[in-house]
Amino acid sequence: MRSLARILISCFVIWLLCVGVMGLIGVSVQFPFTITEEGELPYYRWQGIRLGVFFTLAYFGIQYVLGLSKEVYPINFVKVFIFNMCLFGTILMYRLDVPKEEYLIPAFWLAFLLILNIATTNRYRRLFKKK
């Protein structure tokens, strides 16, 4: 499971770098590989990402203010962000009545999150260690 998570994260990083570089040269890419004109990103998609960022920062800010903060690995930040992006993005998609096939995108990210969570949680990690 850990090797599957590493492969998925590696693919994710490659995708992020490619989309980032393409964005710098003026080519806009929607998930997964749809190239669009600049400024054509649907409202619910960019708003879902925006809400995911806001609620992720609020989550860590509340932990800090309440004295519950601790050092976390970057993967923990990624997991909280993906969860928030999926949750609030799906709520927004439902509210705006988007086409049903668009719900496959948060479903993909939730599956990705499930694999990450299993591979990075200590109680599950013990199951996949080499003996």
For residues 41 and 89, the answer to whether their CB atoms sit within 8 Å is: no
pLDDT at 66: 87
Residue 90 within a domain: yes
Mean residue pLDDT across the chain = 82
Q: How far apart are CA 57 and CA 91, in angstroms?
A: 19
State phi, psi for 29 to the nearest 5 degrees.
-125, 125
| Range(s) of the domain holding residue 68 | 40-128
For residues 92 and 48, the answer to whether their CB atoms sit within 8 Å is: yes
Q: Report whether pLDDT(124) > 60.
A: no
Rounded mean pLDDT of 103-118?
90
Q: How many domains does the chain have?
A: 1
What are the tokens at 109? 């990210």
Of the chain, the percentage scoring pLDDT greater than 90 comes to 24
Residue 119 within a domain: yes
Instruction: Quickly state the pLDDT bin for 93 (edges 50, 70, 90).
Output: very high
Instruction: Quickly state the pLDDT bin for 82 (edges 50, 70, 90).
Output: very high
Residue 116 within a domain: yes
Residue 27 within a domain: no
Instruction: Quickly state the pLDDT bin for 37 (edges 50, 70, 90).
Output: low
Residue 78 within a domain: yes
Pick from 121, 56, 118: which is nearest to 87 by CA? 56
What are the tokens at 45? 């998609």
Q: Report whether pLDDT(21) > 90.
A: no
Residue 89 within a domain: yes
Rounded mean pLDDT of 45-60?
88
Residue 18 within a domain: no
CB count within 10 Å of CB 86 equals: 20
How are the residues of the chain apportioned to helix, strand and coil, as percentages rounded to the nearest 5?
75, 5, 20
Residue 104 within a domain: yes
For residues 63 and 96, the answer to whether their CB atoms sit within 8 Å is: no
